Structure 1
Amino acid sequence: MAINSAANLLSVDSLFTTQEERDEAQRETVRDIPLAEISDFPNHPFKVRMDECMTEMADSVRQYGVLVPGLVRPKPDGGYEMVAGHRRKKASELAGVESIPCIVRDLTDDEATIIMVDSNLQREQILPSEKAFAYKMKLDAMKRQGQRVDLTSDPLGQKLKGSISVEVLAGTSPDGKTQIQRYIRLTNLTSALLDLVDNSVLKEKDKPQMALRPAVELSYLTPEEQTALFELMELEDCTPSHAQAIKMKDFSQAGKLNEDVMLSIMQEEKGNQVEQFKISKERISKYFAPGTPAQKIEDTIIKALEMYRKRQREMER
Structure 2
Amino acid sequence: MSKNASALKVKLSSYDELFGAKAPAASDQIVNVTLSELHTFKNHPFHVNDDKEMEELAESIREHGVLIPGIVRPRAEGGYELIAGHRRKHGSELAGKTEMPVIVRDYSDDEATIMMVDSNIQRETILPSEKAKAYALKYEALKHQGKKSGKSTLDQVGEAAGENSKKVQRYIWLSRLSDQMLQMVDEKRLGFSQGVDLSFLSKKSQQIVADAIERSKCTVSMGQSAKLKEYEKKNELTSTVVRLILEEKNVHKRKFTLKMDKLSQYFDDRYSSEEMESIILHLLEEWKKTQEDIQ
User: Which bracket does the TM-score occupy, shorter chain normalised?
Assistant: 0.7 to 0.9
The aligned residue for residue 245 of structure 2 is 265
**Structure 1 stretches of 5 or more lacking a match?**
1-25, 149-153, 201-208, 275-317
The aligned residue for residue 190 of structure 1 is 178
Q: Answer whether contact 2:122 2:161 (CA < 8 A) is retained.
A: no
Distance 1:76 1:125, change over 3 A: same
**1:170 is matched with which residue: 158, 161, 182?**
158
Q: Answer whether contact 1:92 1:100 (CA < 8 A) is retained.
A: yes
Whole-angstrom distance in 1 between the partners of 2:73 and 2:31: 12
1:236 matched to 2:208? The reply is: no
Q: Answer whether contact 1:241 1:270 (CA < 8 A) is retained.
A: no
Task: Report the Cα offset of residue 35 of structure 1.
Answer: 0.7
Give the residue type in structure 2 aligned to 1:187.
S
TM-score w.r.t. structure 2 length? 0.73
The aligned residue for residue 105 of structure 1 is 105
Give the residue type in structure 1 aligned to 2:248.
E
The aligned residue for residue 247 of structure 1 is 227
**1:256 is matched with which residue: 236, 244, 250?**
236
Whole-angstrom distance in 2 between the partners of 1:219 and 1:147: 29
Structure 1 stretches of 4+ with a deviation exceeding 3 A read 270-274
Q: Answer whether contact 2:122 2:160 (CA < 8 A) is retained.
A: no
Distance 1:270 1:189, change over 3 A: farther
Distance 1:272 1:85, change over 3 A: farther
Whole-angstrom distance in 2 between the partners of 1:60 and 1:271: 57
Whole-angstrom distance in 1 between the partners of 2:215 and 2:36: 46
Greater relative contact order, per chain length (Cα 8 Å cut-off, separation 6+): 2
Whole-angstrom distance in 2 between the partners of 1:174 and 1:128: 16
Whole-angstrom distance in 1 between the partners of 2:67 and 2:42: 25
Describe the superposition over 1:249-293 as per-residue Cα deviations: whole angstroms up to 9, x where unpaired: 00111111112221221122249989xxxxxxxxxxxxxxxxxxx
Question: What is the aligned-residue RMSD (CA, Å)?
Answer: 2.1
TM-score w.r.t. structure 1 length? 0.68
Give the residue type in structure 2 aligned to 1:246.
A
The aligned residue for residue 131 of structure 1 is 131
Task: Report the Cα offset of residue 136 of structure 1.
Answer: 0.9
Query: Which structure: larger Rg?
Result: 1
**Structure 2 stretches of 5 or more lacking a match?**
1-25, 255-295
Whole-angstrom distance in 2 between the partners of 1:38 and 1:190: 29
